[in-house]
Amino acid sequence: MDDLIAEFLTETAESLEVVDSELVRFEANPNDRKTLDNIFRLVHTIKGTCGFLGLQRLEAVAHAGETLLGRFRDGKLEVTPIAVTLVLHSIDRIKVILAGLEQTGNEPDGDDHDLISQLEAMAEGHEVDLTAVQAVEVPDRPIGGEIEPAEINAPALGVGDIDPSTGRALRPGEVSEADLQAAFDAADGPGMGLQPGDVDPATGRTLRPGEVSEADLEAAFAAAESPDWMNEPVTEVVDTKPEPVAEVAPAPVAAKAAAAAPAPAADALQGLGGEDGQGINTIQSIRVSVDVLEGLMTLVSEMVLTRNQLLQISRNREDSAFATPLQRLSTLTGELQDSVMKTRMQPIGAAWKKLPRLVRDLSYELGKKIDLVMEGEGTELDRQVLELIRDPLTHMVRNSADHGLEGTQERIDIGKPANGTIKLSAFHEGGYIVIRIADNGRGLNTGRIREKIIEKGLASRVEVEGMNDQQIHRFIFAPGFSTAAKVTNLSGRGVGMDVVRTNIEQIGGQIDLTSLPGQGTTFTIKIPLTLAIVSALIVGAGGQKFAVPQTSVMELVRTGQNAEHKIEKINDALVLRLREKLLPLVQLGPTLQLEAAKEEDPTFVMVIQVGERRYGLVVNDVLDTEEIVVKPLATILRDVNLFSGATILGDGSVVLILDPNAMSERAGNMLEEKQDEDAEVVTDSSESERVAMLLFKAGSGAPKAVELEHITRLEHVESSQIEIMDGRAALQYRGKLMPILTVNGDYSSLLHGDSTHIQPLLVLTGEGYAIGLAVDEIVDVVEDRLQIELSPDRAGVRGTAVVAGKACEILDVSHYHLRGLAEHQRRPQSSNEERAVA
């Protein structure tokens, strides 16, 4: 592709994004001259450059858009949403043409007459028909490849454009090129300092028609309010090209940008020994291609590896002649690494740039008034991470607008401000960046989520009952979960929050939410600042070494024969008792099917937290912690998917980096299988709430307990009333025959010689039947946390828990329901008459 066109594409894509958000701002505040001037200048620049490059389709659309903007500027036309939509349409059209241009190097064929005629009609003050304009699907251009945010020489090229001749008479309402140029010049502040024919001191020749002197440009840029997007930290700034115009223009802006928000590049340069203390205006920036930066990063990564290698060697040696210089080298390498990292940092605002336009469009589509508030746009993170969170963020903002916020009328009815607010904020915390997406809408519908959880079989009703609201809300991150009652154009397309969660967890991040009914929902995302270099624990299992990223390791527990913590078995599942909780364990060696692992004794458990899941990874050895450079695995190995990459250790060996997320998924499958067998045993009941429980004695062994909610009533009946036949027992209870069960299935205990003996019964009711459970003695009703610690040893018992200071067996009510049901089915004649008893 022609270099000029490539450059034009890069610059224009950037300008267009700015125009998008500026237009939205302009619509909200039509009297803001500065915003309009800024938009006008950007569109003019695009148009000018198109003419210069002979891109006729683009030029025609841009020209018509500019004409309309010109009418706004002159105050001859009122700014209406329709007019703004029309301008946005023309921006979209330009984007489509640009996409075609990028692919083929030529403007794609097409007719823009529909759009241009409407733009012209609008400019003339006629009624316009938006439906006449063909809506176009704007291809999503990732910004990050060849297009870099923080391009700032866009306006420069525009200034030097050659006025393209329209070659026809002006239509009513149209503005001539010359007029526009004049308006444009005026907008930028100073008029023409040099007249054509004067010798420009900078270039030493007379100005060509349409050319502007350096002095004017300097003045123009100094006078013009630098738009927001220019204030973003600049990673690559000034292009020193021989053309006088391009050479001069960006420099002052770069200085401005650097002054407004200390650019990381400038920071880094200073850190590297750049001349500081000479005042802000002398901070110099140069434009560096991303490839060079990536190359630099790779080199530094290699250097970190080599340093690690040297440190390893020196550790094994006694002669210390190398020790001091090596220490120094090590420190310097660390500093170099930090500095190079900084050059890769970009403000998160780059990922938010498309959102104002998105929210504006959503606002019209949904008929909701939405304000988008953004805070901390300047918060920086690695460009690689930035690219990866762009889509999840967009999805979440879309969700907030679509599902989170109420309709305008609904808001007014419930006394909320008519405009819904979506607030994006970002800040640094430790080695992480925290991003919040908050709306002040209706909050999550806890009831519906609860039903959905049960309906989808994600948890049983009993489990759901025991959860607090936040635990229930978190289910929206579960795969395949979507509560959208209706599938709208915007969301509810089956790609839900689980995809967002997966994307975020893939880069080592975490996502959580809080939601209050009627007050809104806040999503919090926490992601590491960089992915290139991470600190990792080097562990051994099955005779092999593996690296585990330290961010996901919560703690390390020593286990083994003499250790305080012992690994215990429930059926085949391994668990660790840790601070009165049971931690499900995954053995690294056997999971990876390493033969040598069979001979090993597990010595360490790494407690790993991934999102909501916490598990223990059993390893044979923990060898070291090391800063590792993550290198991707070859495509041929991607299907293994337990490893996120590989790295070279100090000793030169290659180790695989475990992906704790994928491990937990694999472990999760195993754990869920176990959960089916052992029901509650592996359930993390740390947050279980206090429940009322009935303590009683029945049969031999430990006292028993059952949650009070399962008991319909307590009855005391005379033993003689219980009829025993064929090894079954029943009681005439409220006109029905109710089966009587015992905890051990032995009915002989019910036979009492003393006919006046009073038999306590727990009455359990199910759908259409009742069961009586005969017990020896009812001890107490207590309120306590129900934490089942030990596995059940027989049917009818969920496990053992400490209740009110005593170890009690917890009754499995469902088991008795089944037995009761079986009893009823053996008595068809009576079950026909059964009704709900209680």
Partner 1 sequence: MSIRDYVTLRVGGQLFGVDAARVHDVFHPRGLTPVPLSRSEIAGVLNLRGRIVTAVCARRRLGLPPRPEGSPEPLAIGLEVHGDSYGLVIDSVDEVLKLDDEKFHSPPGNLPPRWAEIIVGVYQLEKELLIVLDPHTLLDAAHLKAA
Residue 226 burial (10 A CB sphere; 0-12, 13-18, 19+) = middle
Minimum gap (Å) between residue 302 Cβ and partner 1:
5
Sort residue 527 into left (φ over 0), alpha (ψ -120 to 50) or beta.
beta
Other beta carbons within 10 Å of 26: 23
Q: Closer to partner 1 at the Cβ: 592 or 694?
A: 592
Other beta carbons within 10 Å of 344: 24
Minimum gap (Å) between residue 588 Cβ and partner 1:
9
Q: Closer to partner 1 at the Cβ: 636 or 838?
A: 636
Tokens at residue 134, please?
A: 């063909």
Residue 711 burial (10 A CB sphere; 0-12, 13-18, 19+) = buried
Minimum gap (Å) between residue 424 Cβ and partner 1:
35
Other beta carbons within 10 Å of 603: 16
Give the residue from 597, 596, 640, 588 showing the smallest Cα distance to 615: 588
Q: Closer to partner 1 at the Cβ: 398 or 545?
A: 545
Give the residue from 824, 669, 809, 691 showing the smallest Cα distance to 744: 809
Q: Closer to partner 1 at the Cβ: 155 or 660?
A: 660
Q: Closer to partner 1 at the Cβ: 247 or 621?
A: 621
Minimum gap (Å) between residue 40 Cβ and partner 1:
44
Token look-up 């923080």 returns 150
Angle (CA) 681-683-689 rounded to 5° is 110
Contact 436, 423 (CB under 8 A): yes
Minimum gap (Å) between residue 605 Cβ and partner 1:
20
Q: Closer to partner 1 at the Cβ: 306 or 514?
A: 306
Contact 214, 202 (CB under 8 A): yes
CB neighbour list of residue 745: distance below 8 Å, 6 or more residues apart: none
Q: Closer to partner 1 at the Cβ: 383 or 545?
A: 545
What is residue 597's DSSP assignment? Answer: G
Minimum gap (Å) between residue 524 Cβ and partner 1:
34
CB neighbour list of residue 632: distance below 8 Å, 6 or more residues apart: 645
Contact 673, 666 (CB under 8 A): no
Contact 534, 528 (CB under 8 A): yes
Pairwise CA distance, residues 265 & 821, whole Å? 74
Minimum gap (Å) between residue 638 Cβ and partner 1:
7
Q: Closer to partner 1 at the Cβ: 414 or 654?
A: 654
Pairwise CA distance, residues 60 & 37, whole Å? 20
Minimum gap (Å) between residue 647 Cβ and partner 1:
8
Pairwise CA distance, residues 518 & 405, whole Å? 10
Q: Closer to partner 1 at the Cβ: 324 or 593?
A: 593
Tokens at residue 128, please?
A: 């316009």
Q: Closer to partner 1 at the Cβ: 164 or 650?
A: 650
Minimum gap (Å) between residue 145 Cβ and partner 1:
15
Pairwise CA distance, residues 565 & 683, whole Å? 20
Q: Closer to partner 1 at the Cβ: 474 or 545?
A: 545
Give the number of residues written for the chain: 838
Q: Closer to partner 1 at the Cβ: 660 or 766?
A: 660
CB neighbour list of residue 643: distance below 8 Å, 6 or more residues apart: 633, 637, 656, 657, 658, 659, 662
Q: Closer to partner 1 at the Cβ: 602 or 766?
A: 602
Minimum gap (Å) between residue 632 Cβ and partner 1:
8
Tokens at residue 651, please?
A: 């000793």
Tokens at residue 699, please?
A: 């049969």
Q: Closer to partner 1 at the Cβ: 577 or 631?
A: 631
* DSSP string computed for 202-229: TTTEEPPTT---HHHHHHHHHHSPPPGG
Minimum gap (Å) between residue 640 Cβ and partner 1:
5
Minimum gap (Å) between residue 587 Cβ and partner 1:
13
Q: Closer to partner 1 at the Cβ: 135 or 654?
A: 654
* DSSP string computed for 505-528: HHTT-EEEEEEETTTEEEEEEEEE
Contact 397, 358 (CB under 8 A): yes
* Bridge partner residues of 627 (DSSP): 535
Minimum gap (Å) between residue 668 Cβ and partner 1:
17
CA atoms within 13 A on the CB side of 674: 21
In the chain, what is the straight-line distance between the N-terminal and C-terminal CA atoms, in Å?
A: 82
Minimum gap (Å) between residue 629 Cβ and partner 1:
10
* Helix ranges, 638-731 (H): 660-678
525 by DSSP, 3-state: which? strand
Minimum gap (Å) between residue 292 Cβ and partner 1:
18
CB neighbour list of residue 134: distance below 8 Å, 6 or more residues apart: 114, 115
Q: Closer to partner 1 at the Cβ: 495 or 637?
A: 637
Minimum gap (Å) between residue 594 Cβ and partner 1:
6
Token look-up 């304000």 returns 371
Minimum gap (Å) between residue 801 Cβ and partner 1:
38
| Pairing, β 723-725 against β 728-733 | antiparallel
Q: Closer to partner 1 at the Cβ: 133 or 663?
A: 663
* Bridge partner residues of 200 (DSSP): 205
Token look-up 């988008």 returns 372
Minimum gap (Å) between residue 76 Cβ and partner 1:
56
Query: E-strand spans in 702-821?
Result: 704-707, 713-718, 723-725, 728-733, 736-742, 758-766, 769-774, 777-785, 788-790, 797-803, 806-811
Q: Closer to partner 1 at the Cβ: 328 or 638?
A: 638
Other beta carbons within 10 Å of 496: 21
Contact residues for partner 1, defined by CB under 8 A = 302, 305, 542, 544-545, 592-594, 631, 633-640, 642-643, 646-648, 652-656
